[in-house]
Chain A
Amino acid sequence: MEQKKAIIEALVFASEAPLSVERIADILTGEEKALISQALQELVGDYEERKGGIYLQAVAGGYQFRTSPDLSTWVKKLRAAKPVGVSPAALETLAIIAYRQPVVKADIDRFRGVDAAGALRGLLDKKLVRIVGRKDVPGKPILYGTTRKFLEVFNLQDLSALPTLRELKELQE
């Protein structure tokens, strides 16, 4: 088991994108997915316990090593990265799409009370949302949904990891 855990750790480290249990099972032919998931959970725990600079994170249907949120100041200096600017308008639009997908632009406009064209274009460019099809009503308007990149950027395992709107409301009160 310890040997398997080390292999899995190496695979996640060497992977470009979040690595799924299925993919690991493909590589470790014959290994049971339940055992792989268990090993991953242990690894997540190991890194949490260590309280070091990196964590193993369940994200976008897979696992990925990420730096600790407390250390962003330093890592940013290394990257000299342009911050991922998502404006409040774009965030609101993104939230509506995330909770109501698949959704047409007319509904997004209605929820926000303003035209969402600009925000929507920005989100499409950033690949946080995508066209998922067309609604079967007159005019066949385009339906929008979130992407896998959306899950990666916002540190979400899947869409169900989002708090429900009801939970958010209770939080507010």
Chain B
Amino acid sequence: MAYEIKLDIFEGPLDLLLYLIKKNEIDIYDIPIALITRQYLEYIEMLRSLNLDLAGEFLVLAATLLHIKSRLLLPVEEDPSTQDEEDPRAELVRQLLDYQAFKEAALELDRRPVLERDVFTRLCPVAEPNDPEDPEVFVEMDVFDLVRAFQQIFTRLDKADMIEIEAEEMSLADRINEIMDRLMERKHLTFTELIGARTDRRWILYTFLALLELMKLRMIKAYQSESYGAIRLFLAVE
């Protein structure tokens, strides 16, 4: 059995690089790339010799450092058109400064009196989901979400008392046309509205197949605001 060890000392390659810069007391705007690259690679080598799985991102930054180093080794062209060319280190410095700022912001957040850690309120039943200030955001669903929603309905059906009734004549094409007609009238419908009060399997199945077909043809779009929330159907074309 393999054990996965997560090394928490550094939050990522940028964190390691910042650490090396601080340790060497280097000016972040004038990084001696050769020195830092060597130390960075040594560090990675050490981590690997300890048999720790390194995240791919550490290797990406190693490649970036080597790339910068090689560009710095190239002779500077005298051609005036390339004179404005940026220091190859500039992009990395920007990234480091941004990261440093957010790292500090994270520490600052952690220094605040955090609820349920440093400060407490009276115990109240948690009132959460219906925050009136959070407007519903719809996330487009794919066919798999729809299949899952139907599975739910079928499980619920299995628990309900059911009476077999004689199958009526119905075709998929009819059901597709019915759904399109209703959508033309109403602009949008929830899935529950489409099913209505009917509980026979055949009806639900045909509705399901019709919706799959319409989604495949890109005639309708299905949206949902949260997992297991109401599924809303819209016409894809006006």
Residue from the list A65, A96, A148, A154 in contact with B114, Cβ < 8 A: A154
Is B42 part of the contact surface with A, judged by Cβ < 8 Å?
no
Chain B residues with CB under 8 A of A46 = none
A68/B11 in contact, CB under 8 A: no
| A138 contacts partner chain B, Cβ-Cβ < 8 Å | no
A109 to nearest B CB, angstroms? 9
A147 to B119, CA, bound (A): 19
Q: Which of B55, B61, B103, B120 contacts A75 (CB 8 A)?
A: B120
Count residues on chain A whose CB falls below 8 Å from chain B CBs. Answer: 53
Assess the B115–A153 pair: CB atoms within 8 A: yes
| CB-based contact B133/A148 at 8 Å | yes
Interface assignment of A89: CB less than 8 Å from any CB of chain B: yes
Q: State whether B109 touches A148 (Cβ < 8 A).
A: no
Q: Does A163 contact B (CB under 8 A)?
A: yes
Q: A91-B106, A92-B106, A168-B104 are in contact. Are A155 and B112 (CB under 8 A)?
A: yes
Does B193 make an interface contact (CB < 8 A)? no
B contact residues vs A (CB 8 Å cutoff): 8, 11-15, 55, 57, 61, 95, 98-99, 101-110, 112-122, 124-125, 127-128, 131, 133-134, 137, 139
What are 19 of the A-B contact pairs (CB < 8 Å)? A16-B125, A17-B127, A67-B119, A67-B121, A69-B118, A72-B118, A83-B116, A91-B106, A91-B107, A98-B109, A110-B95, A112-B14, A113-B14, A113-B61, A130-B134, A152-B115, A153-B116, A169-B104, A171-B104
Taking A57-B119, A75-B120, A114-B55 as known contacts, 4 extra A-B pairs with beta carbons closer than 8 A to each other, sorted by chain A number, are: A110-B95, A111-B95, A156-B112, A165-B104
